[in-house]
Amino acid sequence: MIWHDANTRARLFGIRTVLRVLARTGDPGARLMALEPAEDPYPVYGLVRSRGDLVSSRLNIRLTASHALCQQVLRDSRFGVAPISTLTKINFDRHAGEGERRVQPVDDSFLTRNPPEHTRLRKLAAPWFTPRSLRQRQDAIRQAVGERLDLVAQRSEFDVVNDFAVPVAMDTITRMLGVREVDQPKFVWWGMTLAGTLNGVRTMTEVREVRQVLAELEAFFVELIAYRREHPGDDLVSELIRAEVDGQPLGERDLLATAELLFVAGFETMVNLVGNAVVAVLGSDRTRQEFLADLDRSDDVVEEALRIDSPVQYVARVANETVELGGHKVAAGSTVVLLIGGANRDPGVFADPDRFDISRANNREHLAFSAGIHFCLGAGLARVQAGVMLRELFGRFPDMAHSGPIRRRPSRNIRGVINLPVRAGASRKVSS
């Protein structure tokens, strides 16, 4: 373990050094990967776009901020996904024993699997995210939102993220998974730490934090799964335990990875979406008035927030064979980084792309939920829940205003806020 840590430390130092040197030369890939946490990424996407639809980097990757190319690659079966550890070259999993490593909910789940494994695993959870299932869950979502707003209405100031978005999102996903006890601070820490691995780790401190979280998360779900084996319920974990793949029960690692992924992604994406949307609405008096005049336009607010400030800013795909892309030959094994945040502001698709406009006719053409076979399984839930949350929040507190600085999350890839303090203003009840 000591040798492994020394090797990892040396590799991290080498990565940081190369990124700094190449970033100074203007290399677009290095500039992207060298972004400071919470730094505005959109100028970098503009830099990439100014150099063409498909841009090469000395990091041995290609980048694109083109909406058309991003969509093409996401839908093209000749491109596959790859585990985070493959792309970052860093193994941040603590070995648990005889060659056994901790379950990593991103690397080991259907999120980074290719067909046919991806198809078999994804379909096990899919019934819980159908339109019918979402309709059955709407009353519980409205109740959770109302109860939380009743609590914050007792105060003159509150934090939109920690006092509203986090507890509501966590209530929904923990109910769905059959989690018995909710430890909000710990769950938030787990989610933020693991979402941060999508950036690629940079320091040994980050490596150690990820190892600790992986161990704690795995222990939590091992216990939950054991409990649900003895006490099955109407929840997703119980359903996964009962599920079969090719006539066999789901393997333990696949069971753990699927449950952990749905848990982390289930509240991380929601919290970031709602936080980004509130920041955008409060940042434009015209938009706020437009929304308050018709709160049923919450769906438009959600879609435009997803477009202008996507919770996931970029993803990577690997060519399984030599492919012609944007007039360039992409060799088999090459990595293409799809700048989703840039594609969602492609001026060839979205007029005046840097403006938050809830009247935008094509606001649903964004790629925030990806596309193709890896289109976000929870997109429908995110849209429904965020719509309810924004409608009720602004309906209850129409005069809500910033009361302190916004604190962005320390991430290069995951776009969101972790502190959003506001003055509540007068409280009003909203008819559902």
Q: What is the CATH number of the domain that holds 112?
A: 1.10.630.10
CA dihedral 193, 197, 317, 114 (to 10 degrees): -70
Domain contains 299: yes
Q: pLDDT of 354-380, one tens digit each?
A: 999 999 999 999 999 999 999 999 999
Rounded Cα gap, residues 250 and 236, in angstroms: 13
Domain contains 431: no
H helix runs in 164-251, sequence order: 166-177, 184-196, 204-230, 236-242
Number of domains, the chain? 1
- Does residue 99 carry a pLDDT above 70? no
Domain contains 395: yes
What average pLDDT does this structure show over 120-133?
91
Closest CA to 311 of 232, 387, 379: 379
- Does residue 83 carry a pLDDT above 70? no
Q: pLDDT of 181-239, one tens digit each?
A: 889 889 989 988 888 777 666 677 777 888 899 999 999 999 999 999 999 999 999 99
CA distances from 316 to 79, 82, 86, 90, 208 (A): 10, 8, 11, 16, 25
Domain contains 357: yes
Query: Are 368 and 312 within 8 A, CB to CB?
Result: yes
Q: What is the pLDDT of residue 315?
A: 92
- Does residue 421 carry a pLDDT above 90? yes
What average pLDDT does this structure show over 81-97?
56
> Can you give the length of the chain in residues?
432
Could you give the percent of the chain with pLDDT greater than 70? 91
Domain contains 141: yes
Per the DSSP assignment, residues forming a β-bridge with 315 are 338
3-state secondary structure 200-215: CCCCHHHHHHHHHHHH
Rounded Cα gap, residues 221 and 157, in angstroms: 36
pTM of the predicted protein model: 0.91
Closest CA to 180 of 134, 139, 228, 219: 228
Per the model's pLDDT, the better-predicted residue between 121 and 85 turns out to be: 121
Domain contains 429: no
Q: What is the pLDDT of residue 24?
A: 84
Q: Kind and range of the H or E element at 20?
A: helix 2-24
Number of neighbouring beta carbons within 10 Å of residue 334? 18
Domain contains 389: yes
Domain contains 430: no
- Does residue 310 carry a pLDDT above 70? yes
Q: What is the pLDDT of residue 209?
A: 86
Q: What is the pLDDT of residue 416?
A: 94
Question: What single-letter amino acid sits at 48?
Answer: V
Q: What is the pLDDT of residue 97?
A: 45
Query: Are 270 and 379 within 8 A, CB to CB?
Result: no
DSSP 8-state code for residue 101: B
Range(s) of the domain holding residue 202: 2-423
Rounded Cα gap, residues 34 and 36, in angstroms: 6
